[in-house]
């Protein structure tokens, strides 16, 4: 059996083409409304700095990253250093400020309807959604965006490791870092997002993007969705996206329009979801009259709850009604029931 390695199959150019500032201008009419800002180097260094305390930038608009929190001045008194103490000489570092960037971001948020979700060149800070007041990546201020970006470990990929899998690696970081602000749509359904795999400019596989949940309605739509996505690829991407090997994520709307959500390189840090990369390579050599191999979760027993980072959907994390939200509700109910049983038996 051939040993399959991905590390020698990627090129820097292929990775670069998947940066949102590279592909979005070309496919703007087929995607989600987005505003892109080049990040100043001091802000990049702020995201990378983990040597000191966790500080959020000072907001020139007096915006709060936790607008719904309860402010209790008495708690703050507990942390005041009294005059003459040994700690008096140790002044805490001043928080940074990025007034120009904040004003640009504020304008973009307003132009996109008041709510956005952020991402850098390639990645969104999905791992830090838990820290926001909504449990999602939904942001309405620069302070909320800074909180998500500063709290994220997954963005280290963009900042430090984007080219680690390239056999022709010459750079440790891209020429510039950008902050992409994408319009927030509350009504989007996670089951209607799909990852598509392109090998030698042929569409060789389509996978349900959210593989941690079984959606019965997808079973009825599977064939029609396959045709929609195949037609979209042939008409809009096949001859226009310059890489031979790549993946792209799409969202299918209720009126059967297909929207590009993202592009990713073939292999390396990109998740194959319901495939393996070996299977996708085999599909490339076995394309026949049956069409593209389209895989969805077809029953509860096929759900992949362990695929933690495959939660696809930049919009969805622990918000009301999500899988994690239901899990936490069930856990809380179980804990309350155990408490009541213990009290009854006391």
Residue pLDDT, tens place only, 72-110: 555 545 545 445 555 555 677 889 999 999 999 999 999
pLDDT over 90 for what percent of the chain?
A: 64
Are 196 and 252 contacting, i.e. CB atoms less than 8 angstroms apart? no
Write down the pLDDT at residue 283.
Answer: 79
pLDDT range class, residue 6, cuts 50, 70, 90? very low
Q: Model-level pTM?
A: 0.80
More confident residue, 79 or 30: 30
Position 129 pLDDT exceeds 70: yes
Dihedral, CA of residue 187, residue 188, residue 190 and residue 193, to nearest 10: 170
Q: Which residue has the tokens 């009825």?
A: 220
Residue pLDDT, tens place only, 194-244: 999 999 999 999 999 999 899 999 999 999 999 999 999 999 999 999 999
Position 268 pLDDT exceeds 90: no
Beta strand 34-38 with 116-119: parallel, antiparallel or unpaired?
unpaired
| Token code pair at residue 228 | 């929609």
Dihedral, CA of residue 132, residue 124, residue 222 and residue 240, to nearest 10: 150
Write down the pLDDT at residue 310.
Answer: 33
- CA pair distance 305, 210, nearest whole angstrom: 10
Position 317 pLDDT exceeds 60: no
Name which of 49-58, 180-189, 210-219 the model is least confident about: 49-58
Are 9 and 76 contacting, i.e. CB atoms less than 8 angstroms apart? no
Position 253 pLDDT exceeds 90: yes
Residues with Cβ within 8 Å of 209's Cβ and at least 6 positions away in sequence, in order, are 190, 193, 194, 195, 249, 273, 310, 312, 313
- CA pair distance 249, 312, nearest whole angstrom: 9
pLDDT range class, residue 298, cuts 50, 70, 90? very high
Q: Give, in degrees to the nearest 5, the angle at Cα 277 between 249 and 300.
A: 70
Residue pLDDT, tens place only, 276-295: 999 998 877 776 556 799 99
The domain limits of the chain are 8-66+96-186, 187-315
């Amino acid at each position: 059996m051939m040993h399959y390695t991905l590390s020698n199959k990627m090129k820097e150019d292929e990775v670069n083409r998947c940066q949102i500032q590279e592909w979005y201008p070309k496919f703007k009419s087929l995607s989600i409304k987005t505003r892109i800002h080049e990040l100043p180097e001091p802000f990049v260094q702020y995201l990378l700095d983990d040597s000191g305390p966790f500080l959020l930038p000072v907001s020139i608009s007096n915006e709060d990253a936790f607008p719904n929190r309860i402010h209790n001045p008495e708690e703050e008194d507990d942390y005041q250093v009294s005059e003459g103490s040994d700690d008096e000489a140790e002044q805490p570092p001043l928080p940074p400020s990025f007034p120009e960037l904040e004003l640009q971001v504020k304008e973009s948020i307003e132009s996109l309807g008041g709510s956005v979700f952020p991402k850098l060149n390639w990645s969104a800070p999905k791992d830090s959604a838990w820290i926001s007041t909504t449990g999602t990546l939904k942001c309405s201020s620069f302070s909320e965006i800074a909180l998500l970006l500063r709290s994220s470990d997954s963005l280290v990929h963009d900042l430090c490791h984007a080219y680690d899998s390239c056999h022709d690696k010459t750079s440790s970081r891209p020429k510039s870092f950008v902050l992409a602000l994408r319009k927030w749509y509350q009504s989007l359904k996670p089951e209607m997002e799909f990852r598509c795999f392109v090998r030698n400019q042929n569409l060789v596989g389509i996978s349900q993007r959210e593989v941690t949940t079984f959606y019965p309605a997808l079973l009825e739509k599977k064939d029609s969705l396959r045709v929609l996505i195949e037609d979209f690829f042939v008409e809009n991407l096949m001859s226009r996206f310059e890489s031979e090997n790549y993946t792209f994520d799409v969202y299918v709307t209720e009126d059967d329009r297909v929207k590009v959500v993202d592009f990713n390189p073939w292999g390396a840090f990109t998740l194959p979801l319901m495939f393996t990369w070996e299977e996708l390579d085999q599909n490339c050599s076995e394309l026949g009259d049956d069409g593209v191999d389209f895989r969805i979760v077809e029953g509860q027993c096929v759900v992949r709850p362990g695929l933690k980072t495959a939660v696809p959907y930049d919009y969805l994390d622990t918000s009301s009604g999500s899988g994690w939200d239901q899990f936490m509700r069930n856990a809380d109910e179980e804990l309350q029931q155990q408490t009541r049983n213990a009290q009854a038996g006391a």
